[in-house]
Amino acid sequence: MYNFFKYLLFRPVVKFLFRGTVVGEENIPTTGGALLASNHIAAGETFITPALIRRTLTFPAKAELFKGNRGLGSKIVAWFMKSIKQVPLDREGGRVSLEGLRPVLQVLADGGLVGIYPEGTRSPDGRLYKGHTGVARMALAAGVPVIPVAAFRTGAVKGLFGIPWISRPHVVIGKPLDFSAYAGLHDDRATLRWITDEVMAGIQELSGQTYVEAYALSVKRGSLTPAEADARVQERPGLGGTPPPLPSGKLS
């Protein structure tokens, strides 16, 4: 069903109607597990990026979407998510544990490609926000590279007859980041934060976005005012912090 929807619906629309383009697809390994970590400026990225690349891309989604227990609409969503083989992400208590990541880790272990938005939500103003450490935890637990991705012009506008339209979306895919030297440190907070900041820096290098050292959700929920967010603008995620020490027995 994934290929049915991709090649008969999404890919023709994205490539030929929206005139979408991708650069750097050769940076995605042709086989083996890997994480695609992207900025998130609009909902369109969830189907634009998969439509533009050759490999199947699996996105973790809220576990609630797979239950289909809230009426007909939710049943349709649950059917669609399952039919295109997306996987549930259990964020019990708001924090992703290794147990909650089990379906995602299985996709990676099976050699699949997983897409993730480290910011956790769409940017409220087009800037790049602090990444959640789930991306680092997945990479270390699964032993896979992280590939930074930047998406441009993926927001929808009203087109002819009010139909939502996306004009010339563009996706740039960077070179893989290898953190295998830190294998086994998937629960070390300092290591997870450093790796996450490096991933966000890779995204920023591709996107050219202004970086804000705050979580996007804090701005969306109003716990951080726009002025406070402005005060947290930094040149780079992590400000080029020193890499954490390697696990004992490993050489730098």
In the numeric block, the tokens 């897409």 are attached to 115
Contact, 67 vs 40, CB < 8 A?
no
> What's the pLDDT score for residue 241?
75
Q: Where are the domains of the chain?
A: 17-240
Beta-bridged to residue 62, according to DSSP, are 89
Give the number of other Cβ atoms within 10 Å of residue 84's Cβ: 17
Contact, 116 vs 37, CB < 8 A?
yes
Question: Which two three-digit tokens encode residue 184?
Answer: 């086994």
Does pTM surpass 0.85? Answer: yes
Report the distance separating Cα 224 and Cα 171, nearest Å.
30
> What's the pLDDT score for residue 250?
62
> What count of Cα atoms within 13 Å lies in the side-chain half-sphere of residue 244?
21
pLDDT digits (tens, 9 = 90+) for 85-123: 777 776 554 455 567 788 889 999 999 999 999 999 999
Question: Which two three-digit tokens encode residue 52?
Answer: 């533009």
Contact, 206 vs 149, CB < 8 A?
yes
> What's the pLDDT score for residue 93?
42
Backbone angles phi, psi at 184, to 5 degrees: 95, -10
Residue 163: which residues within 8 A CB-CB, separation 6 or more?
none
- Is 17-240 CATH 3.40.1130? yes
The C-alpha R_g of the chain, in whole angstroms, comes to 18
Mean pLDDT value across residues 168-192: 94
The pLDDT > 70 percentage for the chain reads 87
Q: Which of 2, 4, 7, 10 is nearest to 48 (CA)?
A: 10
pLDDT digits (tens, 9 = 90+) for 228-242: 999 999 999 998 678
Question: Which two three-digit tokens encode residue 171?
Answer: 């996706």
Q: Check pLDDT > 90 for residue 84.
A: no
